[in-house]
Structure 1
Amino acid sequence: MAKKRKQKHRKSSKQAASPKSESKVVQAPKASGTPGAMYVGLFVLALGISYFVSRPNPETGGPLQPPPPGTPIPPEQQAEKIFAAYAGSDSCRACHENQFNDWKTSHHGLAEREIRPDMDNEAFDPHREIRHASQTSEARKKGEDDYELVTLGKSGKVQAHGLKRAIGVSPLLQYLVEEEGGRYQAAELAWDPHKKEWFNVYGNEDRVPGEWGHWTGRGMNWNAMCASCHNTRLLKNYDLASDSYDTRMAEMGVGCESCHGGMNDHVEWQNEYVGRPDRPTEDPTLKKHRFSRDQMRDNCGPCHARRTELTGDYVPGESFFDHYSLVVPDETDVFYPDGQVWDEDYEFTSFLSSRMHAAGVRCFDCHNPHTAKLRIPGNLMCMTCHGGEQTPETEAWGMPKIPKIDPISHSHHKSETEPGGRCVDCHMPLTTYMQRHPRRDHGFTIPDPLLTKQFGIPNACNRCHDDKDANWALANVEKWYGEKMNRPYRIRSQWVAMAKTNAPRAHINLIDIAQNDTNFLWRAVSAGLMRGYLHEPTVREELLKRLTDKHPLVRGTAVLSLDPVAQQHGSREQTAIHNLLQDPVRKVRIDAAWALRSIVDTNTIAGRELLNYFAATADQPAGMMQQGVFHYDRTNYSLAADFFRRASTWDTNSAAPHHELAVTLSQIGENRKAVDELRVATKLAPEQAEFRYKLALGLHELGDVPGATRELEATVEIDPNHGSALYNLGLAYDQLNRTGEALSTLRRAERADQLSSRAPYARATILARMRRQSEAIEAVRQALRRNPNDPNARQLYQQLGGK
């Protein structure tokens, strides 16, 4: 488990619910002959934050039940009640010996365990010195079964840390250190059992105590980041008031009941009827454990997906989308536009995006569920379907006709024994995480060097032939496959890549994907990317249609894309989203409640589920940010400020909490403190244009016009198309009597924001003051073409004698 150095508060993936963005910025005054001095309005939230916010039939979801009201059950009583349904993996051995033996030594069986000398001694004995970046640490044996790491700790000093547990088995092991408040922290130093050496999972980074991503920080906290996927039926039990945990699990490690659910009733029934002549032929307890293929897939999803927990209470057999919000390709660098993994994304999203999943393939078609290994090695695994014959299983599953493939002629490589001769080399490329952990992409993508040339999307040919360029690879694939390369996969990837950059007219292609792509994940991707084109009426219409898409991921993503306009009272969007508060799938209900956060009744089912989601994520800075935005939009500014302060304390390297705190402080009149927070934000993220823009507004409110002007200039240098910054910079130049620069900058603002009337109106007021009447009339006409109902522009037009 290696987390990024900085926690990224970005729209994505809870992804995404961003705060409302309706800025009252520096405005030109009402026209009354000659313009007066400009003024600066209050800040409002503008930065998006992280909202890493199904059953056999994912369109249906679970029954609509409210969270139980009343006093929370104490952790020990809650655990006793829940864990009573679990018998433990050892209870399975007697009847399922082969499966038990397969599981016991698997990565699941050894996902987490107590320290064991037979498995851990070689890492510590003899004593080992570990050099990493600028630091030197030690791994050593302290007693018979007692081991420790001597490394930089929370105090900022090098000290010995006793080790309590190990997580993982191969290709690396990490060790857990117990800290106060019920915490366990995963050490950044890991053991490679193959190379017999220690290494730092962050490579040559020099993370320091106080950072979110340091091993002593919340980014490496086992309770929040590791425990639920390394153990069976975990209860995190975080208490915000004391900032402590009372984490419990039914069984350490990923046991049988992690996938099958609590089986104690089955064990008791078997024990009751063992050897009895009146034993019924059917075990009635097994009915609820007979999962469909999609339920089994959903059991794998939680621990093989980049996602955010919505409940912290997933039970095998339930819908993935009733408990998690899935991260999908969006405008960030989390995934490549063709769906290939870019960041640490795991397997689930890319698998759902694939043609294999769409055709009916599921995890256990390739993987043995007990060993977690492939059922058949190498290309033989692929040939079970692509050998040319439909099997009884594939016919029963309703899979389409499967194309026959000869690996040698298809790959143009001599044999399976050489790189490139294996199907997975081209269609499941490897990416190494945590320095030593290679993982295969499960998107089953097609190597396309043209996409590399156009958008920098990696292709498998050049991943291997890194001494060649994309032109060489493109020439070969065009020679081998010809027109077959110009397939829908390529076209969709090109469309998504263009939309990621907000390219003009890219929304037309996104609408095409939303209407015609049969894969729900790509419809969700298109709905998410439409957020950048909300000014287009056709986009808003299409997103309204997606609110009734048959898949919950699409409905929920469409809700979040409409978030900025859902705040408009009485709008069609607000009404349509309100209807989804009763959606059959919890993820959609929570997304709808978030989009309506300023007005949602927290005593309703969806409202209480939103609050429960807040509780599930309250131990992380992103969770604090989420609650801060919630209270800000409900005008509870003092409470919102408290959440943002805590987020900034928990993630000292992130600029976003300081920005949001500044915005909130400005609302309660603490403008000087707001500017101080914005200075911290711009220092932490100097290339973030929005932070510099807000700092400029704050400085102007304090009367520092030259300082505001400098920050506005820095803003438009970073983002030359920042319409609001250009508009305000034009007004600032005018206030400083730099009239020529004011007019030219306002022209730039008009080009950057072609919908707003404010820039041409401001230019008209300056031209009128300069007695350049004909130019002023043309400028104000431009303002009225953009907004015929602009009262200030209409008044100025009349004053100038316009008709």
Structure 2
Amino acid sequence: MTEFSNAFIIRYLRQKNFFSCVLCTLLFTNIGCKQIEKEAYIPIEPEYYHASFVGADSCTKCHQKEHEEWKNSHHDLAMKLADSTTVLANFNNTSFIHNGVKSSFFRKGQDFFVNTEGEDGTYQDFKIVYTYGVTPLQQYIVAFPNGEFNCLLTAWDTKEEKWFHLQPDLEIKHDEWINWSGGSQRWNTMCADCHSTDLKKNYDLSTGVYNTTFSEINVACEACHGPASEHVSYYENAMDGAEKSKAPPQLYMDSEMSSLEVVDKCARCHARRTNLTSNFDYKGTFMDHYYPRMLEEPLYELDGQIKDEVYVYSSFIQSKMYQEGVSCNDCHNAHSLQLKREGNDLCLSCHTPNYNTTAHHFHPMNTEAALCINCHMDGKLYMVNDFRRDHSFRIPRPDQSVDYNTPNACNKCHTEESAEWAASFIQKKYGPARADHFSDHLLKGYTGDYVAFKKVFSNKHYPDIARATAIGRYADSPITEEEALNLSLYLNDSSVFVRNETVRALERIGNPAFSERVVPMLKDSLRVVRISAAHYFRTLGTASVKELEAFKKADKEYVEELKVNSDFPAGLHQLAIYEQGQGNSDKAIEYYQRAITEDSYNNRSRMNLALLYYQLGRPEESEALYLKVIEQEPEFSYVYYMLGLLYNEKGDSTKAGSYLYQATTLDPPNLNAYYNYALLLQQQKKNEASLEIIEKGLVQFPFNERLVYIKLLGQLNLNLRYKALETLEVLLQLNPTNADYIQLKKQLQGGV
């Protein structure tokens, strides 16, 4: 099940002038391999495009061995009807209390029930209709009248045989999106696409009703191999000799796939990603249907190690093993999902025996510490008791832990020792040099050396997902127009990840001058890039571009993505932005309001709606929304900044100053808060106070030209000519050709 962070990231575009602001645009989000050319394995339209689903029983008579391996696997038991053979938990009048909410589990005849707090805050009996998963935990699903199915957050620990809560550290209110009755535990939205076969969500945006269907309740044969009616028919007819002259029909997954193709096809259920299409139709590649998340917080550590639950794919394609052609089925039995060998024997099926010696790992043989996976596949617990290993297969780097506070496998075991101790041990045993790794440069980039990001995305030997991640972060840095121009060259990169993130990066940079270079991306071979290009032109495009046939086709795919995700608060938020861009304010308001209703803590939608109300001349409604955000997130700087702007527009300079000041004291640091508050102080003839605020701002945003310029204004207001000349020198270093700066310097020097 996908998990989503409760954090809200609100990004506002640069203000055009002092007290006017524009609508923020937020890209909807709740991967390096070499470019996978579709033509390499879909040269013609395969038979499975026209096939239908016939069920696992149709496969059994020819594939008995595979069927027996699959039976009782995690795929087979992914979801089942709740009955006495599938429910593992104790429903014999047991109960569990979490943060004052009591859940009581009992039976009525053959049926299973829970009495717990529902979405309205009252206790009700809910019938369990499905089981979900099998080990190390099992969840239970309840049906709601509008076609929703929701997973309880109280789950059964199948090893300890006890009830437990999946969010033990959170106090969750009944009306929150992350409550069991809210959207975060909605099976139709969060789980079904990967836990059943031939899933169609069938959500009606206008009514809010689901009519979700599947051909088989679990992950059966055709979930991976694709619809098999043509395949089954061929072999049934072949027994009579009718098909002997024809080649057997191709399946979506078969034994002839390349390693890259295997990983790409497993990725759709083993990646943290966003859906692009209404259902997976077994056409195209992974990136024709999904947008995978990059190696960014809070999902990943800054070096790319797993942090939140990310489902393997984006970790594995970072690895050297993937680069060398290793795929999922080299280690795992594709049907039982079990490892093909136990312990270090699995690793030694490829690696030489000298790795399995004390001379290499320096731990006693035949111990847990001597297992390859405990050094090179460190892991984390998710959903409280489900241990998942990091598939990036890294060499431990405690030296990075010393410099950047990233985790490392050594100190996960040697908890009593410091990272310095572990780094010293590594250096002593393996020498002072560490093999070059993209994380060395990513970490430097995150800590202020933005040019280090360029070292990652310009190196084609690094994993493509790392390169794409670096492009996104590089674009968030204060790059020059020339650097942005050089970045645009990566629109032609062979990697779909790099091309896609370049389009998204150029949109964030916000310079329409690159539009001509982005136009060809509307015809990219992969849907994810076409959608990103359509989004780019929705934000920055001209009327002439929007008349292009390529834009209209890509925009249609973009709108489909918006509708597909419209049962997420973030999806409704994006629909609101889209309608607002179309000039449909009423529709935008409707979708923002629905997003807030869906998630009562959805403050990014409140912020956008508040701004829209203000633009429509409804300042009281705008003010109320901003104050609600402060009630829920009192430490969030941007809402104080926006209220400061609002009160200034209303002519209340006292409140404006108070809120702008608070915006400069809270996180995240906001350049515009410093700038606008300092300017307001200067308008109030408080130039000394203005200079104090500017100095604090320059600590956060050193050498920012706007801040340095108003520092100059404050000094001139106080007649501090010598200091003003010093500040002018800084401005001329930042912008040496600015004619106004040059002229002002001459005037000041003449006056001195």
2:630 equivalent in structure 1: 682
CA contact (8 A) 1:338 1:493 kept: yes
2:45 equivalent in structure 1: none
Corresponding position: 1:308 with 2:300: no
User: Could you tell me how far apart the structure 1 residues matched to 2:536 and 2:242 are?
Assistant: 58
1:72 equivalent in structure 2: none
**Once the 2 structures are TM-superposed, how far is the Cα of residue 800 of structure 1 from its aligned partner?**
7.4
**Unpaired runs of at least 5, structure 1:** 11-17, 27-39, 65-80, 389-403
**Once the 2 structures are TM-superposed, how far is the Cα of residue 456 of structure 1 from its aligned partner?**
1.5
Corresponding position: 1:508 with 2:437: no
**Once the 2 structures are TM-superposed, how far is the Cα of residue 466 of structure 1 from its aligned partner?**
1.5
User: Could you tell me how far apart the structure 2 residues matched to 1:157 and 1:457 are?
Assistant: 44
User: Could you tell me how far apart the structure 2 residues matched to 1:436 and 1:130 are?
Assistant: 17
User: Could you tell me how far apart the structure 2 residues matched to 1:756 and 1:219 are?
Assistant: 41
User: Could you tell me how far apart the structure 1 residues matched to 2:619 and 2:320 are?
Assistant: 54
Q: 1:661 to 1:512 in 2, by over 3 A?
A: same
Corresponding position: 1:44 with 2:9: no
1:107 equivalent in structure 2: 74
Amino acid at match of 2:525: P
**Once the 2 structures are TM-superposed, how far is the Cα of residue 556 of structure 1 from its aligned partner?**
0.4
User: Could you tell me how far apart the structure 2 residues matched to 1:204 and 1:774 are?
Assistant: 57
User: Could you tell me how far apart the structure 1 residues matched to 2:32 and 2:381 are?
Assistant: 30
| Length-normalised TM-score, structure 1 | 0.85
Q: 1:407 to 1:305 in 2, by over 3 A?
A: farther
1:601 equivalent in structure 2: 546
Of 428, 442, 452, the residue aligned with 2:391 is 442
Of 166, 178, 187, the residue aligned with 2:143 is 178
CA contact (8 A) 2:91 2:112 kept: no
SS in 2 for 1:516: coil
Amino acid at match of 2:446: K
SS in 1 for 2:469: helix
SS in 2 for 1:58: coil
1:451 equivalent in structure 2: 400
CA contact (8 A) 1:235 1:248 kept: yes
**Once the 2 structures are TM-superposed, how far is the Cα of residue 409 of structure 1 from its aligned partner?**
2.7
Amino acid at match of 1:106: S
Amino acid at match of 1:717: T
**Once the 2 structures are TM-superposed, how far is the Cα of residue 333 of structure 1 from its aligned partner?**
2.6
User: Could you tell me how far apart the structure 1 residues matched to 2:41 and 2:262 are?
Assistant: 19
2:445 equivalent in structure 1: 499
User: Could you tell me how far apart the structure 2 residues matched to 1:215 and 1:732 are?
Assistant: 47
Corresponding position: 1:23 with 2:15: yes
**Once the 2 structures are TM-superposed, how far is the Cα of residue 789 of structure 1 from its aligned partner?**
8.2
SS in 1 for 2:154: strand
Corresponding position: 1:253 with 2:190: no
Amino acid at match of 2:206: A
Q: 1:563 to 1:720 in 2, by over 3 A?
A: closer
**Once the 2 structures are TM-superposed, how far is the Cα of residue 686 of structure 1 from its aligned partner?**
2.5
Deviations 1:655-685 (A, max 9, x none): 2111111222222222232222222223322
SS in 2 for 1:386: coil
Amino acid at match of 1:24: K
Deviations 1:112-139 (A, max 9, x none): 111121232x524422121223222111
User: Could you tell me how far apart the structure 2 residues matched to 1:340 and 1:751 are?
Assistant: 31
1:285 equivalent in structure 2: 249
SS in 2 for 1:643: helix
Alignment of 1:757-796 (within 5 A): 757-771=705-719, 786=734
Deviations 1:584-608 (A, max 9, x none): 1111111111111133638722111
CA contact (8 A) 2:397 2:408 kept: yes
CA contact (8 A) 2:225 2:251 kept: no
**Once the 2 structures are TM-superposed, how far is the Cα of residue 435 of structure 1 from its aligned partner?**
0.8
1:33 equivalent in structure 2: none
CA contact (8 A) 2:38 2:284 kept: no
1:76 equivalent in structure 2: none
Amino acid at match of 1:434: M
1:645 equivalent in structure 2: 593
CA contact (8 A) 1:55 1:317 kept: no
Corresponding position: 1:584 with 2:520: no
Corresponding position: 1:158 with 2:123: yes
**Once the 2 structures are TM-superposed, how far is the Cα of residue 717 of structure 1 from its aligned partner?**
1.7
User: Could you tell me how far apart the structure 2 residues matched to 1:98 and 1:367 are?
Assistant: 16
| Length-normalised TM-score, structure 2 | 0.91
**Once the 2 structures are TM-superposed, how far is the Cα of residue 353 of structure 1 from its aligned partner?**
0.7
1:476 equivalent in structure 2: 425
1:71 equivalent in structure 2: none
1:654 equivalent in structure 2: 602
**Once the 2 structures are TM-superposed, how far is the Cα of residue 802 of structure 1 from its aligned partner?**
6.7
**Once the 2 structures are TM-superposed, how far is the Cα of residue 690 of structure 1 from its aligned partner?**
2.2
User: Could you tell me how far apart the structure 2 residues matched to 1:801 and 1:667 are?
Assistant: 45
Alignment of 1:364-375 (within 5 A): 364-375=329-340
Q: 1:523 to 1:720 in 2, by over 3 A?
A: closer
2:170 equivalent in structure 1: 205
Deviations 1:626-651 (A, max 9, x none): 22233344454443333222212211
User: Could you tell me how far apart the structure 2 residues matched to 1:597 and 1:741 are?
Assistant: 42
User: Could you tell me how far apart the structure 2 residues matched to 1:177 and 1:751 are?
Assistant: 53
Q: 1:62 to 1:754 in 2, by over 3 A?
A: farther
Q: 1:84 to 1:520 in 2, by over 3 A?
A: closer
Of 666, 673, 685, the residue aligned with 2:621 is 673
**Unpaired runs of at least 5, structure 2:** 43-47
Q: 1:706 to 1:251 in 2, by over 3 A?
A: same
Corresponding position: 1:410 with 2:360: yes
1:554 equivalent in structure 2: 498
2:53 equivalent in structure 1: 86
Greater relative contact order structure (CA < 8 Å, 6+ sep): 1
**Once the 2 structures are TM-superposed, how far is the Cα of residue 469 of structure 1 from its aligned partner?**
1.9
**Once the 2 structures are TM-superposed, how far is the Cα of residue 53 of structure 1 from its aligned partner?**
12
User: Could you tell me how far apart the structure 1 residues matched to 2:283 and 2:361 are?
Assistant: 39
CA contact (8 A) 2:607 2:626 kept: yes
1:68 equivalent in structure 2: none
Corresponding position: 1:116 with 2:83: yes
Of 120, 128, 134, the residue aligned with 1:169 is 134
Q: 1:259 to 1:154 in 2, by over 3 A?
A: same
**Once the 2 structures are TM-superposed, how far is the Cα of residue 449 of structure 1 from its aligned partner?**
1.2
User: Could you tell me how far apart the structure 1 residues matched to 2:728 and 2:585 are?
Assistant: 38
Alignment of 1:416-427 (within 5 A): 416=366, 418-427=367-376
SS in 2 for 1:361: coil
**Once the 2 structures are TM-superposed, how far is the Cα of residue 210 of structure 1 from its aligned partner?**
1.3
User: Could you tell me how far apart the structure 1 residues matched to 2:710 and 2:251 are?
Assistant: 71
User: Could you tell me how far apart the structure 2 residues matched to 1:458 and 1:46 are?
Assistant: 34
User: Could you tell me how far apart the structure 1 residues matched to 2:530 and 2:41 are?
Assistant: 12
SS in 2 for 1:284: coil
SS in 2 for 1:102: helix
Alignment size in residue pairs? 736
User: Could you tell me how far apart the structure 2 residues matched to 1:507 and 1:533 are?
Assistant: 6
CA contact (8 A) 1:47 1:660 kept: no
CA contact (8 A) 2:25 2:577 kept: no
SS in 2 for 1:214: coil
